[in-house]
Amino acid sequence: MIKLHKAVTSVAAILAVSALAMTGCGRAETTPAASGAAAGFAADSVIGVALPQKTSENWVLAEKLFNDGLKTAGFKGDVQFANAGVSEQQNQISAMVAKGAKVIIVGAIDGGQLGTQLKQAKDAGATIIAYDRLLTNTPDVDYYVAYDNFKVGELQGQALLDGMKAKKPTGPYNIELFAGSPDDANAKVFFDGAMKVLQPKIDDGTLKVVSGQTSFEQAVTQGWKAENAQKRMDTLLVGSYGSAELDGVLSPNDTLARAVITSVKAAGKSVPTITGQDSEVESVKSIMAGEQYSTINKDTTALVNHAIEMAKDLQAGKSLEINDPKSYNNGVKVVPAFLLVPKIVTKANAAEEYANDKVLGPLTK
């Protein structure tokens, strides 16, 4: 799905980034290898991977997949987590440059605060691939590989409507909205995708956000932390749901969904229809138990494998496959992207979606 997003010029502007238009999916294209790697490089070169904090299972899994996959491909992998924050990630990228990394794959904590380090990497001849989260406000990023995150939001919004309707065929429905961390460029994209589906229903009265907190800025969850979501849900329940029933909650990921469920149960209320993302083990169990309504299957293995394939193509001096060449304007340039397709998962299709997953498949039996 092709999307156009407003350019972002600062962390504050990231809060205002929105999807401007939608067009049909186009054919895959190829782009020449980035100039620094146009002639390829040694097969045993260092490939750096800078990952954010371990805030969800998919990031932990990505670390192992990158380590194993890069080794199998013959590269020297340098995979780092920045659990101490942005400054640590900045230092890690600089260290990768010093080690002579030919490709640096970046899953940013804050994609707008790495400009100095990315320029350093480009000046040293490295190719930069933004992984999962777009790198913003810099010309020094060559490619973007991710799932279609606007589509993720659309799927979440539709799942919320479907789940509530299954419980109660006619509205109106009382809902609350949660979003991810404001320093993650994807968080606004998820929210905008969901609101494309939900806003018309808010406007026509089918949905009522009882708290009145309908903007992204009001819905954010700093750091994607479960305790922040749970605290906000506690406050919303006390302030807005004394006698009112809560029918649904838009949650952008599984960790926050479980936090909301914990809050609702503690308040003695029925668990509402609630969305998620990432196919985390505990949330898949919750879905099968009939509590969390949905998650999103964004196969981390497929995403990591594609990022590694990009590195292999760069090493060989090949052109890279791009299926979205024009949607991702990072505020300075349009970054060529390869997008994978996310899948909605509910109890009804979980067994099919996870049939080949050795961890999640058995949970759906």
Instruction: Name the percent of the chain lying above pLDDT 70.
Output: 89
Indicate whether 235 belongs to any domain: yes
Residues 293 and 304 in one domain: no
107 and 159 housed in the same domain: no
Residue 81 is inside which H or E element, if any? strand 76-81
N-term to C-term CA, the chain: 32
219 falls within a domain: yes
153 and 284 share one domain: yes
Q: Is the pLDDT of residue 125 over 70?
A: yes
pTM here is 0.84
Q: Which helix (H) or strand (E) holds 175?
A: strand 173-177
Domain that holds residue 268: 149-297+360-364
Give the residue-averaged pLDDT of 301-318. Answer: 97
| Judgement on whether residues 117 and 238 belong to the same structural domain of the protein | no
**Residue 33 confidence (pLDDT):** 55
pLDDT of residue 10: 36
- Closest CA relative to residue 285, chosen from 348, 364, 167: 364
Query: Is residue 264 in a domain?
Result: yes
pLDDT at 15 over 70: no
The reply to whether 246 and 317 lie within a common domain is no
Q: Is the pLDDT of residue 248 over 90?
A: yes
Are 252 and 169 in a shared domain?
yes
Residues 329, 287 share a domain? no
Please give the tally of structural domains in the chain. Answer: 2
Query: Mean pLDDT over residues 52-68, rounded?
Result: 93
- Nearest CA to 202 among 178, 179, 183, 176? 176
Assess whether 164 and 272 both reside in one domain.
yes
Question: 224 lies in a domain?
Answer: yes
H or E element, residue 321: strand 320-322
Q: What pLDDT, on a 0 to 100 scale, did the predictor assign at position 70?
A: 98
Q: Are residues 137 and 163 in the same domain?
A: no
How far apart are the C-alpha atoms of 99 and 45, rounded to whole Å?
10
* Residue 57 pLDDT class (50, 70, 90 cuts): confident
We report the CATH number of the domain holding residue 269 as 3.40.50.2300
The answer to whether residue 347 is domain-embedded is no
